[in-house]
Amino acid sequence: MSLDQQVVHLKHREGSEEGTRYVAVASGKGGVGKTVFSVNMGRCFAESGGRVLIIDADLGLSNVHLMLGLTPKKNLTHFFFGEATFEEIVVKVSDNLHFISSGSGVVELTRLPRDQVLSLVRRLQELAEGSYDLVILDTPPGIHEDTLAVVSAADIPLILTTPEPTAVADAYALIKVVNRECGVESFHLVVNKVEGEKEGRKVYESVRLLTDKFTTAKVEFLGTIRYRKNLIRKIIDQDPFEKGFTADVYNILSNMNLGVKPKRRSFWDALIGRLLRR
């Protein structure tokens, strides 16, 4: 599929409802490439004409800015301590691509009381709705309560894994927990660091067989990303946009149903509802 064809797939379908779409990028374990995937997906969509906001949802352990080679002057820490307005913590990467850092090594952000978390969610809603076409939330790995809240509220819960047995097992475990605890029925799977499409589909079939047997969840296969040694060097150099990796991400984006109608409950209503049950 050509780049022009891929771009067409990214646009809202004619006659579909417009609105901000929310993608939660999650994984059962760390080290599967979740953040590099998130920033590549954001840039690919932005280059296709969409307005994108990436939110580093790993409170206190943000690393999206490191991946991009940027040093935000303000982040969520400054906002919570009254040292910055919400608008001041939004970092412009390009005209169509922005991101919010949650700060790094800030223990206080991991211990926020519920009222402050809810205040944050409401302010994010005010910022995102109508201003962005796509919001990508890079969540903490595992089954942390905040991860479950974000994944269960998103329009597209996207689970990233690799062929490693531990990563596959943890990806299934995350799907199972979100399905049973939050009632989410639909998930999307991307397999990273594969040798080829066949290996990726084998991983997908393993996850699908487990979910079909032990859960009510349905998992859609969005595609694979091939392992590339030179991407490691580019990440070290804080330039995580390798040509082949980006091409794989475009293919994945072309398979994502970004023209779906918004859920009956908005992302923000679902997230606030989940947080209130904590």
What was the pLDDT predicted at 110?
60
Higher pLDDT, 48 or 261: 48
pLDDT of residue 258: 63
Residue of higher predicted confidence among 203 and 89: 203
Reported as a pLDDT band with limits 50, 70 and 90, residue 16 is very low
For position 188, what pLDDT does the model report?
Answer: 97
Would you give the end-to-end CA distance of the chain in angstroms?
Answer: 45
140: left (phi > 0), else alpha (psi -120 to 50), else beta?
beta
**Among 16-20, 36-40, 125-129, 225-229, where is mean pLDDT lowest?**
16-20
The pair of structure tokens assigned to 101 is 């850092």
Residue closest to 259 by CA, chosen among 49, 25, 9: 9
262-278 pLDDT tens trace: 345 677 777 777 777 66
What integer pLDDT is reported at residue 225 of this predicted model?
Answer: 95
Q: Which residues contact 250 (CB under 8 A, 6 or more apart)?
A: 3, 6, 44
| Long-range contact set of residues 115-121: C-beta below 8 Å, sequence gap at least 24 | 116/80, 117/275, 118/272, 118/275, 118/276, 120/76, 120/79, 120/80, 121/268, 121/271, 121/272, 121/275
pLDDT in tens, 110-167: 666 667 767 777 778 888 888 999 999 998 888 888 788 889 989 899 999 999 999 9
Set out the domains of the chain in order of their start, with CATH numbers.
Answer: 20-269 (3.40.50.300)
Total residues found in the chain within this entry: 278
For the residues 36-65, what does the mean pLDDT come to? 85
**In this predicted structure, which of 58-62, 71-75, 199-203, 232-236 has the lowest mean pLDDT?**
58-62
Specify the pLDDT at position 9. Answer: 31
Average pLDDT across the chain, whole number: 82
pLDDT in tens, 227-261: 988 888 887 878 788 888 988 998 898 888 664 33
- Can you give the pLDDT at residue 111? 65
Q: Which alpha helices (DSSP H) does the chain contain, by range?
A: 3-10, 34-47, 64-68, 76-80, 114-128, 145-153, 165-182, 197-214, 229-236, 243-255, 267-276
Whole-number pLDDT of residue 145: 81
Higher pLDDT, 199 or 109: 199
pLDDT of residue 159: 98
- Position 133 scores a pLDDT of 93
103: three-class secondary structure by DSSP: coil
Note if the pTM is more than 0.85. Answer: no
More confident residue, 276 or 85: 85
- Cβ–Cβ under 8 Å, residues 158 and 222: yes
Q: What is the pLDDT of residue 170?
A: 97
The helix/strand count (H/E) of the chain reads as 11, 8
Amino acid in position 117: V
